Amino acid sequence: MIKKAGEIALDYFNRRDELIVETKTDPQDVVSIADQNVEKIIRNLTRDKFPNDGYLGEEHGQEKGTNDYLWVIDPIDGTACFLTGMYAWCISIALMKGNKIVAGFVYDPNKDELFSALTGNGTHLNNQVIQTQDITSVTQGVMGVGTSHRIPPSELLPFLDQLLSAGGMFIRNGSCALMMSYVASGRLIGYYEPHINPWDCLAGIILINEAGGWSSPFLANDGLNKGNPILSSASGIASDLQKMTGLA
């Protein structure tokens, strides 16, 4: 299902000059017809197999089901990159049962990389088991970070100061879900964003946790509806990053 959606999203990407683009409240936050249509396709493909499930998507809001299952969908995470021809975008889908994330899928159509995790079954990249890095210091790799204009710069800058002062380094590629997948696969050592929406990070949380890493309690205090900070990392540096961010 996610690969089928990825094929369609990639076709839109290759024809991106033809797309209708709209701006949301934040001028940096844009949406295209590709985002809207890919989410509709994911909902329709999922609904055919699971007609009683609910949905929460970035573009089409919440649709309640008749059971405890909820699909949380970001049809194109990294829309700004998508629209400008950069490859840092992906499709992110998480499945919740009640208040638990039970499955997560992140698909990068450009590289044909599918990151997947099920509760108790580990994390896989194209059917190969992956794990977070086995490290004890932020100097042993690169940290992913994200931000938006929903929060003031003062929310992020103290963390960057502490990370750099400790000898660490960071990148920001424009896609939370993709960077969290890289944490799960050991390419990055962690990911931090002072405020994020659930469709951006829920799949990444289970990917990282099932790969042996650690994540802050994003769903606490109604994070599913209001969003929250997210901090995820290799377990060996979790305590250091918690001190830098104040998250536990």
Which residues fall in the annotated binding site for Mg(2+)? Answer: 58, 74, 76-77, 200
Quote the CA–CA distance of 224 and 99 in Å, as a whole number.
9
Long-range contacts, stretch 26-33, CB < 8 angstroms, 24+ apart: 26/148, 26/149, 26/150, 28/80, 28/148, 28/149, 29/148, 29/149, 30/79, 30/80, 30/83, 31/59, 31/79, 32/76, 32/79, 32/82, 32/83
First to last CA, the chain: 35
Quote the CA–CA distance of 205 and 194 in Å, as a whole number.
15
- Structure token digits, residue 205: 């949380």
Q: Which residues are documented as binding site?
A: 58, 74, 76-77, 200
Quote the CA–CA distance of 3 and 143 in Å, as a whole number.
28
Taking each helix axis as running N to C, give the angle between helix 238-245 and helix 157-165, from 0 to 180 degrees, rounded to the nearest 10.
Answer: 140
In the block, tokens 């900070």 appear at: 229
